[in-house]
Chain A
Amino acid sequence: MRGDLPQIAGTADISRVARRLRRPSSRRASPWAWFWLALGMLYFFVPLVATLEFSMRAVRGRYTFVAFQHILSDPDFYRNFGFSLMWAVITMVISLLLVVPTAYWVHLRLRRLRPVVEFITLMPFVIPAVVLVFGYIRLYGSRPLVLTGSPVLLVAGYIVLSLPYMYRSVDAGLRAIDVRTLTEAAQSLGAGWPTILRQVIFPNLRVALLSGTFLTLAIVVGEFTFASLLVWPAFAPYMEDLGNKKAYEAAALALISFGLTWASIGIIQWLGRGAPGQTQVTGAH
């Protein structure tokens, strides 16, 4: 019925339209939507179920979760996951500190630099990680600048890998809020740049930042090349190692890792609920 009318015929139609305008943004659920979603979920979950089924065959003749128990009682698991989680958070923070001021500045004042910055942020897609890490070891592993002992190279690598996502999110967020007006308003109230960034920009970007950070988390936890070649006890090398040794536990671990990453992202998402929306100009809270 909706939209069927070739023209608005009379008051009845006008009031119908008016009613629709007052209704919240959700529309009647289209059956196609359910169909696509169901299809998608089938595709995504069947392989996970297959992995689960295999992991449950750890004991001959019956299904059991003992492989999961083995993983969850392995201290290495906690150590490596904790390590990756911790460095994911550090990466997120440094990445935000690098990207947000830059994106903001480019958006506001250095428009001409935008293509350059965008190009830089797309370069990590273009260079294979294994080549990059050997590049780091060569450049920064010998005098005068020996960084290979410290986690600097690892974090740098993580930041580089997550840069495209972080920048994209921040950029999208900046586009959605009226940066100029906010900045002008803040300046007219006497705020300096640090204050503007801290109290005006960051809070308004909360939703966009969340999106960038949870992708960073997923990337860092799953990242193998840098951690393995730079020799750090991260989660992905642990997974790889286990995969070579134990059949059923490896499958269990893949699922646990999926679940944990999802949970972490869920937590970040939940923490970011109720933040000022991306779509409207709100000014500082």
Chain B
Amino acid sequence: MPNRRLTRRDFLKFSAAAGGSALLAACGGGAATCDPITSADTIALDTLTECATAEGQLTTIALPHDWANYGEIIETFKTRYSLTINELDPNAGSAEELEAIRANRDNPGPQAPDVIDIGIGRTVTAMEDGLVAAYKVATWDSIPMKDPDGYWWAEYYGALVFECNMDIVETLPVDWEDLLRPEYRGMVAMAGDVLQSNEAVQTVLGAGLSRTSGAFEGAAQAGLEFWAEMNAAGNFVPVIADVGKIAQGETPLTVEWDYLALANRDTLAGNPEIGIVVPQTGVITGPYAGGISAFAPHPYAARLWWEFVMSDEGQLLYLKGYAHPIRFNDMAARGVIPEELAAALPPAEAYANAIFLTVPQLQEANTYITENWRRVVFGE
């Protein structure tokens, strides 16, 4: 670790020198020297590219290939910059991601994640525990949801929708209250576990927001009451839904993120037919936040990754995976969104009332819901 603080000017000078020597090194085969990063300022793309190439690898975690098109994002990045990508546990939740950073603090090997993708609510823990490094990507200003100092930023979001197995569900529900109808008895499930999944907690909150007409105050309690009624009516199937259970018929009406529901529809390819409905009220969004590990073994590669993902191109790849990129409005205003991609999503009017909660609100709701879930819904 250097003793003196690198100023931005030092850095620019250095990267110029590095660029020059890299040119020579490219002929001679030596590596460019890239100093450890200490500021959050944007780094020029060519510097990033060179230093990342020198590092040679990037370690990601919790990026399933069929979640918001991460498969294609990773492939594109890998081929374009000729880096090896170590993909850790795609099914990790935010807690495991943070634990992985913590546990691999001194480990420069491929088990230590460089970049993370966590639920917005978890960002507070990440920052408090000093697990993330600050960095502002080139497109920083057009990101509507972020930490002002650059420790995290939202990447994409989706809204909760009702995903229906049309072989079993005869009429599509229109709104949350419809789920209580007797025709859906033994059909409705969440796509996660309330104690472990952000998605499930948001499912409770979404129902609550529908009942409070969008007001955050009291939404958590209202949501719990909704699900208590669902359970009492026998409509709620207490199992974690997934594409297999939807197809098999155990959970024919699942509340899930729109990008996952649409991806499932593609996977099942009509066997069975899947109907997707955005609820009329209580359209709750769930942004996910990106960050860089404070102990990343490949800091330049990490930053290069984010430059790619938060660029127009990267954001459009999210859209291809049916997720709304966080910079959607900015990109739409500049007209860079292709027609076909936008058309594949549910119509924009459905998202007109989308509710974006703040981090403190999410945290408060998280705590309230997890603490009271068993008591209110199961009465124990």
Contact = CB atoms under 8 A, between A and B. Distances in A.
Answer whether A and B touch in the complex at a CB cut-off of 8 Å. yes
Interface of A: 54, 57-60, 134, 137-138, 141-143, 146, 148-149, 228-231, 237, 240-241, 243-248, 250-251
A150 B65 CA distance: 26
Interface string B84-104: 001011110000100110011
A176 to B, nearest CB: 43
Contact of A134 (B103, B110, B268): B103
B88 A231 contact: yes
B267 interface: yes
Closest 6 pairs (CB-CB, A-B) = A142-B106, A247-B244, A149-B109, A137-B103, A247-B247, A60-B271
A243 B246 CA distance: 12
A146 B86 CA distance: 18
B96 A141 contact: no
A240 B91 contact: yes
Contacts of B110: 149, 231
26 contacts: A54-B248, A57-B247, A59-B271, A60-B272, A134-B99, A137-B100, A137-B103, A142-B105, A143-B106, A146-B106, A146-B109, A149-B110, A228-B89, A228-B91, A241-B90, A244-B64, A244-B66, A245-B65, A245-B243, A245-B267, A246-B243, A247-B243, A247-B244, A247-B267, A248-B247, A250-B244
Contacts of A143: 106
B103 to A, nearest CB: 4
Contact of A141 (B66, B106, B242, B243): B106
B89 A243 contact: no
A274 B111 CA distance: 46
Nearest to A229: B89
Interface in B220-268: 242-244, 246-248, 267-268
B111 A243 contact: no
Nearest to A140: B107
Contacts of B88: 231
B242 A58 contact: no
Interface of B: 64-66, 86, 88-91, 96, 99-100, 103-107, 109-111, 242-244, 246-248, 267-268, 270-272
Contact of B242 (A60, A142, A148, A243): A243
B97 to A, nearest CB: 11
Contacts of B86: 231
B196 to A, nearest CB: 12
A231 B88 CA distance: 6
A209 B271 CA distance: 47
Nearest to B167: A60
Contacts of A245: 64-66, 243, 267
Contacts, number: 78
A141 B108 CA distance: 9
Contacts of B65: 245
Contacts of A246: 243, 267
Contacts of B99: 134
A247 B91 CA distance: 17
A126 B106 CA distance: 29
A158 B78 CA distance: 33
Contacts of A241: 64, 90-91
A137 B104 contact: yes
A244 B243 contact: yes
A138 B64 CA distance: 25
Contacts of A141: 103-104, 106-107, 111
A281 B15 CA distance: 78
B94 to A, nearest CB: 15
Contacts of B91: 228, 240-241, 244
B209 to A, nearest CB: 28
A20 to B, nearest CB: 54
Contacts of B244: 54, 243, 247-248, 250-251
Nearest to A227: B89
Contacts of A229: 89, 96, 100
A148 B248 contact: no
A137 B64 CA distance: 23
Nearest to A133: B103
A148 B111 contact: yes
B111 to A, nearest CB: 5
A243 B241 CA distance: 11
A215 to B, nearest CB: 26
B62 to A, nearest CB: 11
Contacts of B243: 244-247
Contacts of A247: 243-244, 246-248, 267-268
A48 to B, nearest CB: 15
A241 B65 CA distance: 9
Contacts of B272: 60
Nearest to A240: B91
Nearest to A136: B103
Contacts of B246: 247
Given A142-B106, A244-B64, A137 B89 contact: no
Given A134-B103, A149-B109, A245-B65, 15 more contacts: A58-B271, A60-B272, A137-B104, A142-B106, A142-B107, A146-B107, A149-B111, A228-B91, A229-B89, A229-B100, A231-B110, A237-B89, A244-B91, A247-B268, A251-B244
A249 to B, nearest CB: 9
Contacts of A251: 244
A244 B62 CA distance: 13
